[in-house]
Amino acid sequence: MKIDKNTSQKAADLVRLEHELFFKYLRVSPSYQLAHSIQVGDKSKSSVKGLIHFNEVMKTYEIVGDVFNTNFVAWWETKGHLLFEGKEFVNLSFRLNLTKDKNQEIKRIRALIDSSYHANALQESKLRIETNKIRYQTLEDRMRLLEEKAYDSLFDGPKRPGWMLLDLAEVINTKHSLRYRVKKTTTNTYERSYLTMLASRHFKEVLVLAENAALGKFPSFKKNPSKLKFDLWRVGHLEGIEARINYAPYTSKQYSDAPTQKN
């Protein structure tokens, strides 16, 4: 994560790793992608019929906006930092009058600080990062797993076994002796099955994290009512979309009907 030297001081003071992770999970969320498609006219509002959580997703979209035709740095500089301010940091500027009594100056500065805390208490930030025990490394590992699976869906196909994906991505800190694309034998059946189970479980966790982000709750493993699934083709193209944001605006129609590519 790199914030440009020309970024406002306020944006630079506020930025943290969890803000970038929130941005990444929001981009891959099926619910948030659907909200964007409706907002830009690619899909009708009838697409959300039966999705009881979607009003909350649209509220998040109204706050955060388009995260597809941009990258994190640009979004954070222009909009993102404004959504989280008010509960993080505030810059105070004051001058000490050394001709006055020290205790008087301390009292005056304390009053300035108290005033800032009071104003801050009245100003609710539009978004907040959840306070819990979910580690940054967990969030990054789950995202890497999704990215590898999305990449595989473009080239190797979506039916690739989970243990192969784990062996390739090395995103889960689990010891195993399997080699890449090793054939099934009686001695490695258990290990293959275990890694496949682990990949499946972690993949489901990525989806929960992404869909909760669309509800404005991040990071959270709390069960949510969404029944949507990842569009792996769309996820696989996110980096390419970001790389050419100055040349071709994104719409979901670009990839919705595209066939899966093979090597």
pLDDT in tens, 177-235: 666 556 777 777 887 888 888 888 999 999 999 999 999 999 999 999 999 999 988 88
Contact in structure between 85 and 12 (CB atoms under 8 Å): no
Name which of 32-46, 62-76, 84-98, 226-240 the model is least confident about: 84-98
pTM: 0.72
Within 10 angstroms of residue 263's Cβ, the number of other Cβ atoms is 6
SS3 129: strand
Residue 129 forms beta bridges with which residues?
A: 218
pLDDT in tens, 139-181: 998 998 888 888 877 776 656 677 666 666 666 666 666 665 5
pLDDT tier for residue 257 given thresholds of 50, 70 and 90: very low
